[in-house]
Each structure stands twice: as C-alpha cells, then as structure tokens.
Amino acid sequence: MKVDLAIRGGRVIDPATGLDREGTVLVSDKRILAIEAPDAAVEAERVIDARGLLVLPGLIDLHAHCFVGETRLGLPPDRIGVQQGVTTVVDAGSSGVDNLLRFRESVRGARTRVLAYINLARDGLARHRGELADPRMLAPDETVEALRAHGGFLVGVKARASASVVGDQGIAPVRLAKETAKRAGVPLMVHIGNAPPRLEEVLELLEAGDIVSHAFHGKKGGIYRDGTLLPEARAALERGVLFDVAHGQASFSYATCRRFLADGLVPHIISSDLWRGNETGPVVSLLHCMSKLLHLGMPLQEVVAATTWRPAVALHRQHEIGSLAPGRIADISIIRQVRGQFPLQDSEGVTEVVSCLLEPVMTIRHGHIVGDIGPGGISA
C-alpha cells in the first residue's frame, strides 16, 4: 500500500498514548495511518527525513488573539500558527456576539485551525479594556444562543477578572460569565490579574474543566501567599480546574512557576497569549514559551502534553486532534531542539539563560505540508 506521507526516523512523542520513541509516522487520506519502526519499508508519495527532530501531534495554542482589524490585539492566525509550528490557535475572547460573524469571516481563509472562546461582553475586546465594567454591554442570553449556533467554532466563554476590566462591578460579571457558560454546557476561561475581584472569589466559582489563564503571574494577590499555595488554588486543582500559563505581556513569572514545579505540580496547559504587543518579546511564540518551561525543569513529555493532548481534552476535541493515534487528523509539528545559550525574558523583566530552544521545522495540517523551513524561516 502506498501512503501519502511518511515522516521517517524522528523522535515521536504522543502523550495521549504514552509513545516516546524513534519511529516513522504514516499519513494517508489526511489522517494518521500508523507509526512504524524508523527503518520500516514503506512506499510513500513523499518521505520526510526527521532524524534528529521531534515529531509531535500538532501543537495547540489555547490562548492567543487573532481578530485582526477590529481589535488592537489581533495577529494573523497563520503568523502565530502554522508558521510557528502550531496547527490550532484558539482566540481568547477577542469577539462577542456583536462582532462574532466578522471575526469568523476574518479567519475563514487561514491554514491554521482557528477556534474561539466568546467574550461575555457583546463587543469582545474591541475597546481593549473595561469590557465588563458596564452591565448593559454584557449579553448572557445572546452568548448562549451563539454558543449553540456556532458549536463547531466556539469552545467556551471568556471573562477577564481584573480591576481594569470589571471596574466597580467586582466579582459580578465573572459570576455571570460562569452562569452563562454553565447554561451552554461549555467551560469558562477566566483571566486573573490585579484585584478586585480577589482571586479567592474567582477560584471558588470554577469547576472541573474551567481554565485559569495567567495562573503563574508575578503580581500581588496571585496563587502564592508568603510562599505557600493559596488553599483555594489547591482546592481548585483538586476539583479539576485547569491552570494555564498564558504567558502574555505581563502574566508569567519564572519565580512563580518555579515554585509551582517545586511543589510537585505541573501546569496543565502552556499557551502564549500572543498579541500585537508581545510578539517581539517577551512571548515571541508558543515554542519560546515551551522552551521556558523546559528550562524550569518541566519534563519534555509534560511540555508536549501541555500543548497537545491536554488542550485537546480541554477543547473536547481529543477524538480528532492532540494525538498521533491512528485515525486522528494528521496535524503534525516537526520541531528542532537547538542547544546553546539563549537569554529569554519573563513578564517581570527577569532574563534567564535557556540551554535548549525549540524551533519549528515543518508544520503539517490535515495531512498537508503548510509550513516548511526555508532560508528565511518557516513559511506557509
């Protein structure tokens, strides 16, 4: 049997199945057919030599911003997606019910898979800040309707629990967002930052499958108090609430994350929170974020799980993406580990020297090569 694509000899890591060995990934009819031995005799339309490279399920960036034009945040999805080794980008609340259709149209031609959390505020992040401060701008009923009508695109509700966003409304808009998500049967993604509302209030609202974005920021009132994990944070983890890195411009601290790892815990998800203000630093790419977690001592297999299988489960898309198991959609990221001395900065202005930097080599989306490294970098 002749297959469409054979990716030969790379280190294949698939946390969903526990696979971590050299192998040859076979792709046929846009799906994973099998994983054979590195030297297996196969006949393929195209053979890719992946010796010395990582062959991973297509990377998923669970928190980014790609609504270009109507918000000041948006980056083109392919620029932060397939051109950076990422096959799925999830927009984190850039649109609400009033501009959802325009957002969908803006990403229609993307080669990267784009999914989205819808903002409780009817115009999303079009105003950039303060979107939850005016109760008249919140649209719970219409948001539930949108989630039901756009279930193939929308994956949950997004709310930002920061003083600059909620104004004098405190916890009320976040509680309404949780009620809205529950009515629609979807998870809530909540951004945490400066109080009010207090983090304890926010965490107590959340249930299994809900997502805490920016869990490892270094601001006052975070998940650690006097060096000890907040009891409400530990209780949330025990309930199955997911803690996401969501690096961003101001929301990732080496010190906070290092302490979390030292406590024997690992972030469930690593995402970038890429937007126009942090693409040149400190975030740069999802792979840069992954490199920082490797530097902090998070095992490679865990880093891969946090950008493939676990976000796929959070999205309820694990039967299609996030794994290289036979039958899954052939979304594949081929990555190089570059050894050297690379100064990378967190969101607190702290620079640490990383000895392994992950770089994209090739991106395969739905069985097609859509990003391939060239003299000028990866192109799509």
Angle ∠(107,111,117) on CA atoms, nearest 5 = 45
Pairing between β-strand 211-213 and β-strand 43-49 as defined by DSSP bridges: unpaired
Residue 79 to residue 93: CA distance in whole angstroms: 19
User: Is 158 within any annotated ligand binding site?
Assistant: yes
User: Is 39 within any annotated ligand binding site?
Assistant: no
The neighbour count for residue 339, using CB atoms within 10 Å, is 8
All residues at 6 or more sequence positions from 212 whose CB lies less than 8 Å from its CB, including other chains = 190, 192, 202, 203, 206, 236, 241, 242, 243, 244
User: Is 210 within any annotated ligand binding site?
Assistant: no
User: Is 91 within any annotated ligand binding site?
Assistant: no
User: Is 65 within any annotated ligand binding site?
Assistant: yes
User: Is 368 within any annotated ligand binding site?
Assistant: no
DSSP sequence for 23-77: EEEEEETTEEEEEE-TT---EEEEEEE-TTSEEEEPEEEEEE---BTTBSS---H
Give the residue from 196, 206, 190 showing the smallest Cα distance to 171: 196
Annotated binding-site members for Zn(2+): 63, 65, 158, 191, 214, 273
Binding residues are 63, 65, 158, 191, 214, 273
